[in-house]
């Protein structure tokens, strides 16, 4: 009889269906993913809580999720993949809920101390170029699809507009 502790259960092992072979290699080496990878990995180790909050919730998420959820959803639909389009649209709805929470927290912090505008603006300015590079990388990938391609310039511009809208609703209008 096999020792159950030394042999992981089948449910604990990744499936061998072909769709989980090579993703780590793609994530770690594909040129277009590297700006996103860099942004995520650096933001996740930000020591200052306000920096981590601003990087992820005010800059990275609204920028990247615009490309990933909105542009990718539209491109999937244009290519006849309605299931992917609907799944991404649902994730986009959840992102909007999260964005409302983040905006409310920013407005609260600014109402409590107007100096928080400068603190948050500093972090937004620091992280926006990395988020823009990440959005461009993802948009460029969508522009290489074999059938109906995404418009990378339009997707990147929409990503910046999504971030600016987030900043405006958060009490940080005009911060770049």
User: Any idea what the CATH number is for the domain that residue 73 is in?
Assistant: 1.10.620.20
Is residue 95 a part of any domain in this protein?
yes
Is residue 176 a part of any domain in this protein?
no
Residue range(s) defining the domain that contains residue 56: 33-169
pLDDT at 1 over 50: no
Is residue 85 a part of any domain in this protein?
yes
Is residue 98 a part of any domain in this protein?
yes
Written as six digits, the tokens of 141 are: 């990938």
Largest Cα separation within the chain, whole Å, is 68
Judge contact between 95 and 140, C-beta under 8 A.
Answer: no
pLDDT at 129 over 50: yes
Is residue 27 a part of any domain in this protein?
no
Is residue 8 a part of any domain in this protein?
no
146 — pLDDT class (breaks 50, 70, 90)? confident
pLDDT at 10 over 80: no
Other Cβ atoms less than 10 A from the Cβ of 72: the count is 25
DSSP annotation of 68: I
Is residue 20 a part of any domain in this protein?
no
Judge contact between 28 and 95, C-beta under 8 A.
Answer: no
For residues 173 and 21, the model is more confident at 173
Q: Where are the alpha helices (DSSP H) in 55-115?
A: 61-65, 72-78, 82-112
Domain count within the chain: 1
Is residue 38 a part of any domain in this protein?
yes
């Amino acid at each position: 009889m096999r020792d159950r502790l030394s042999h992981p259960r089948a449910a604990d092992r990744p499936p061998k269906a072909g769709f989980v072979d090579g993703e780590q290699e793609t994530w770690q080496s594909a040129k277009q993913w590297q700006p996103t990878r860099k942004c995520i990995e650096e933001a996740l180790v930000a020591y200052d809580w306000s920096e981590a909050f601003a990087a992820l919730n005010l800059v990275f998420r609204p920028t990247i999720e615009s490309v990933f959820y909105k542009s990718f959803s539209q491109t999937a639909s244009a290519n006849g993949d309605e299931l992917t389009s609907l799944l991404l649209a649902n994730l986009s709805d959840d992102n909007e809920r999260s964005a409302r929470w983040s905006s409310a927290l920013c407005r609260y912090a600014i109402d409590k101390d107007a100096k928080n505008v400068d603190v948050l603006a500093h972090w937004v300015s620091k992280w926006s170029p990395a988020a823009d590079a990440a959005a461009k990388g993802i948009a460029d990938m969508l522009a290489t699809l074999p059938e109906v391609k995404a418009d990378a310039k339009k997707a990147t511009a929409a990503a910046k507009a999504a971030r600016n809208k987030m900043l405006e609703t958060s009490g940080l209008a005009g911060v770049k």
